[in-house]
């Protein structure tokens, strides 16, 4: 049997869907017994959400005042202590997991496998390198604990319907005081979350200004879509960093991805190649985005986007 | 602040499209242009800006790799690093081993700050900085897009999935940098000449008592599945019609 511990990501109120995707990844391991740990100041709500995920056997609550904000320096020693009873420890390949998991691995003295995209065995996985231009199959030593991050775009979220036990766990771990949380700033939005949305509309440098991005927001609201941006658009200041899609931004797998005024640099394509359908609108018919698009339209986005909005009505 | 250590990795140049070997044994690297990992260049630029704002700060560029990695360290010296250390090895170095090497160097050099790129664009692992911070038992600030110092500590704003997050860390600390922290300077010809005279020490894994442990076996390397080129439509109306037929809108 393989005992798999997943660190749950949440904001105190809602369990991030990345956690449900980690559960699906973990369920692919032969004879998996899955536990989700949630760290926080009060994890009662998110623990209930984790317990409802199909495939989860147990949920461990690690409530502690210091756990109010996710700081890797604070979480890692606790996760490393908790890991003692498990063969595998998984976290999502989100900014939370990328920060936390390698620190945990090093405290345990073991390597980490980053960005699992497919499970081929309990210790054998596929992962992307070179911005997704090559896929390697790697095997870890079964005699050691396996630490990994899960490329969330590669897995569907585990459905509801689970009924896991929930228990509180107190860990006797001393925590450092050298790292302190100051604050966070997020562009609050009523639109769907970019990372998990079924529909995404993204804009590139051709939008020309932050003001013009409103065209996309308006269309997105008609479609119930999230809005993303290319690195070029973020660098130009047209969109905030959390909207960036690509190798160094978010890697997403929506049902439909509509790229508007995006030429399709390889680093951008890395972030969208798991999309079910890619639609490209660009005035340059030679743009590389058309090589991967399922449906392409060459033309002026400033005419096409308002027309689309009108036609969708 | 007296000393900043910056990690420099030699990688296939950002603009080169790599290809997978036909027998699946790896990626074809022969003859490809090699450069400083772009994120490491940003880390070095930040170190240089801190140096230029302060006084008597030494910037030490460190790398692990084959003998030719001296080229990338010379680039770092030309950008403005004061000296460089190459831990020369032909072995494939995984992130945990790299972290152990940097730890050994940190114990020799006692830097106030270690700056690294958030990831290398070859293996895309995004691990070394966090592992180093754990082994060094010091704070980490990852994906930094803004760094401000006050006495003995730093405030670091990071690019996270939800937006921006700010933390405060005591020094010494490890920071990994993101794209938008700064724009690295171009190297000028006179600086390249000057860099030739700057010290570049070569040492080895043995000298630092670090073994080149291979933690992971790579069994196979394959090209990614390719998406097929789809259809072209003539206008917005036809696009809407196609998407409706596919049940997508």
pLDDT tens track for B138-170: 999 999 999 999 999 999 999 999 899 999 999
Region B110-129: mean pLDDT is 97
Query: What is the SS3 assignment for A215?
Result: helix
Query: Residue B21: which residues within 8 A CB-CB, separation 6 or more?
Result: B27, B28, B221
pLDDT in the model for residue A313 = 79
Say if residue A158 is in the same domain as residue A219: no
Query: Would you call A186 and B164 a contact, using CB atoms and an 8 Å cutoff?
Result: yes
pLDDT in the model for residue A301 = 97
* Any domain includes A182: no
- The alpha carbon of residue B248 is apart from the nearest alpha carbon of chain A, in Å, by 7
Q: How far apart are CA B142 and CA B229, in angstroms?
A: 38
Of A105, A186, A295, the CB nearest to B230: A295
A307 chain-B contacts, CB cut-off 8 A: 235-237
Return the residue matching tokens 């960005």. A115
Per-residue pLDDT for B91 more than 90? yes
Residue A153 lies in domain: 2-168
Q: Name A37's bridge partners.
A: A7, A60
* Any domain includes A181: no
Residue spans of alpha helices (H) in chain B: 38-53, 70-79, 95-109, 128-136, 189-195, 236-245
Q: State how many domains chain B has.
A: 1
pLDDT in the model for residue A196 = 87
Say if residue A160 is in the same domain as residue A229: no
For residue A203, the domain's CATH number is 3.40.50.1220
Choose among B182, B173, B101, B162: nearest CA to B140.
Answer: B173
* Any domain includes A175: no
Residue spans of alpha helices (H) in B143-223: 189-195
A168, A185, A219: which is the final residue of a domain? A168
How large is the C-alpha radius of gyration of chain B? 21
For residue A42, the domain's CATH number is 3.40.50.620
Per-residue pLDDT for B213 more than 90? no
B62 vs B54, more confident: B62
pLDDT digits (tens, 9 = 90+) for A265-299: 988 999 999 999 999 999 999 999 999 999 999 99
Choose among A13, A3, A289, A271: nearest CA to A152.
Answer: A271
How far out from the chain centre does Cα B192 lie? 22
Return the residue matching tokens 């772009």. B38
A149, A168, A187: which is the final residue of a domain? A168
Per-residue pLDDT for A189 more than 80? no
Query: Residue A161: which residues within 8 A CB-CB, separation 6 or more?
Result: A52, A54
Q: How far apart are CA B158 and CA B171, in angstroms?
A: 17
Say if residue A17 is in the same domain as residue A67: yes
Q: State how many domains chain A has.
A: 2
Looking at chain B, the whole-number percentage of residues with pLDDT higher than 90 is 94
Per-residue pLDDT for A188 more than 70? no
Say if residue A154 is in the same domain as residue A206: no
3-class secondary structure per residue, A134-194: EEEEEEECCCCCEEEEECHHHCCCCCECCCCEEEECCCCCCCCCCEEEEEEECCCCCCCCC
A168, A188, A219: which is the final residue of a domain? A168
Q: How far apart are CA B100 and CA A109, in angstroms?
A: 10
On the CB side of B2, CA atoms within 13 Å amount to 3
Per-residue pLDDT for B227 more than 90? no
Burial class for B186, CB neighbours closer than 10 Å (0-12, 13-18, 19+) = exposed
Count other C-beta atoms under 10 Å from residue B73's C-beta. Answer: 26
Region A84-95: mean pLDDT is 97
Size of interface A-B (CB pairs under 8 A): 247
pLDDT in the model for residue A265 = 92
Residue B232 lies in domain: 3-245
Query: Would you call A139 and B99 a contact, using CB atoms and an 8 Å cutoff?
Result: no
Query: Residue A118: which residues within 8 A CB-CB, separation 6 or more?
Result: A28, A125, A126, A154
Say if residue A161 is in the same domain as residue A256: no
For residue B89, the domain's CATH number is 3.40.50.620
pLDDT in the model for residue A190 = 80
- Give which of A97, A112, A126 to mutate to test B binding, by max B Cβ within 10 Å: A112
Residue B226 confidence class, pLDDT cut points 50, 70, 90:
confident
Region B185-209: mean pLDDT is 96
Query: Residue A79: which residues within 8 A CB-CB, separation 6 or more?
Result: A7, A37, A39, A89, A100, A104
Return the residue matching tokens 């756990």. A67
Lowest mean pLDDT among A28-42, A100-114, A187-201, B87-101: A187-201
Say if residue A240 is in the same domain as residue A142: no
Write down the mean pLDDT value for chain A: 96
Per-residue pLDDT for B55 more than 90? no
Say if residue A40 is in the same domain as residue A132: yes
pLDDT in the model for residue A248 = 84
Say if residue A6 is in the same domain as residue A146: yes
Say if residue A36 is in the same domain as residue A82: yes
Query: Would you call A105 and B96 a contact, using CB atoms and an 8 Å cutoff?
Result: yes
Per-residue pLDDT for B119 more than 80? yes
Q: How far apart are CA A295 and CA B48, in angstroms?
A: 47
pLDDT in the model for residue B203 = 98
Q: How far apart are CA A40 and CA A42, in angstroms?
A: 5
Choose among A172, A237, A247: nearest CA to A203.
Answer: A237
Query: Would you call A112 and B240 a contact, using CB atoms and an 8 Å cutoff?
Result: no
Say if residue A30 is in the same domain as residue A87: yes
């Amino acid at each position: 049997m393989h005992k798999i511990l997943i660190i749950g990501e949440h904001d105190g109120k809602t369990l991030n869907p990345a956690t449900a995707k980690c559960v699906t990844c973990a369920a692919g391991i032969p004879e998996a017994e899955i536990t989700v740990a949630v760290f926080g100041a009060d994890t009662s709500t998110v623990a209930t959400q984790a317990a409802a995920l199909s495939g989860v056997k147990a949920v461990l609550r690690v409530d502690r005042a210091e756990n109010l904000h996710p700081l890797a320096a604070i979480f890692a020693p606790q996760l490393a202590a908790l890991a003692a009873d498990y063969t595998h420890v998984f976290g999502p390949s989100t900014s939370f997991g990328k920060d936390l998991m390698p620190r945990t691995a090093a405290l345990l003295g073991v390597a980490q496998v980053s960005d699992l995209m497919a499970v081929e065995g309990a210790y054998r996985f596929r992962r992307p390198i070179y911005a997704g231009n090559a896929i390697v199959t790697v095997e870890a030593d079964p005699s050691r604990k396996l630490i990994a991050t899960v490329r969330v775009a590669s897995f569907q979220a585990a459905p509801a319907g689970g009924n896991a036990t929930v228990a509180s766990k107190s860990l006797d771990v001393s925590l450092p005081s050298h790292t302190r949380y100051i604050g966070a700033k997020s562009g609050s939005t009523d639109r769907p979350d970019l990372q998990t949305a079924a529909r995404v509309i993204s804009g590139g440098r051709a939008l020309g200004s932050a003001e013009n991005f409103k065209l996309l927001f308006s269309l997105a609201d008609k479609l119930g879509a999230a809005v993303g941006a290319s690195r070029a658009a973020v660098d130009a200041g047209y969109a905030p960093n959390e909207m960036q899609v690509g190798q160094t931004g978010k890697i997403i797998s929506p049902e439909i991805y509509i790229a508007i005024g995006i030429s399709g640099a390889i680093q951008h394509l890395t972030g969208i190649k798991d999309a079910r359908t890619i639609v490209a609108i660009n005035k340059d018919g030679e743009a590389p985005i058309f090589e991967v698009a399922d449906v392409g339209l060459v033309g002026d986005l400033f005419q096409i986007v308002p027309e689309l909005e009108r036609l969708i009505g | 602040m007296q000393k900043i250590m910056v990690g420099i990795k030699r990688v296939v140049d950002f603009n080169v499209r790599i290809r997978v070997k036909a027998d699946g044994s790896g990626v074809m690297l022969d003859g490809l242009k090699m450069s400083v990992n772009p994120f490491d260049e940003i880390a070095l630029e930040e170190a240089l800006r801190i140096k230029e704002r302060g006084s008597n700060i030494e910037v030490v560029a460190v790398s692990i790799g084959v003998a030719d990695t001296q080229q990338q360290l010379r680039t770092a010296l030309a950008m403005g690093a004061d000296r460089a250390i190459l831990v020369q090895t032909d072995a494939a170095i995984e992130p945990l081993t790299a972290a152990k090497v940097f730890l050994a160097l940190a114990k020799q050099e006692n830097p106030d700050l270690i700056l690294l790129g958030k990831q290398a664009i070859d293996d895309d692992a995004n691990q070394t900085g966090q592992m180093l911070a754990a082994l060094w038992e010091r704070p980490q600030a990852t994906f930094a897009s803004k760094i401000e110092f006050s006495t003995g500590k730093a405030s670091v704003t990071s690019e996270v999935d939800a937006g921006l997050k700010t933390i405060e860390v005591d020094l010494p600390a490890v920071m990994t940098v993101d794209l938008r922290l700064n724009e690295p300077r171009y190297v000028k010809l006179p600086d390249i000449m000057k860099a030739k005279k700057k010290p570049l020490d070569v040492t080895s894994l043995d000298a630092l008592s670090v073994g080149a442990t291979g933690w992971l076996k790579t069994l196979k390397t394959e090209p990614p599945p390719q998406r097929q080129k789809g259809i072209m439509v003539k206008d917005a109306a036809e696009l809407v019609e196609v998407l409706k037929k596919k049940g997508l809108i």
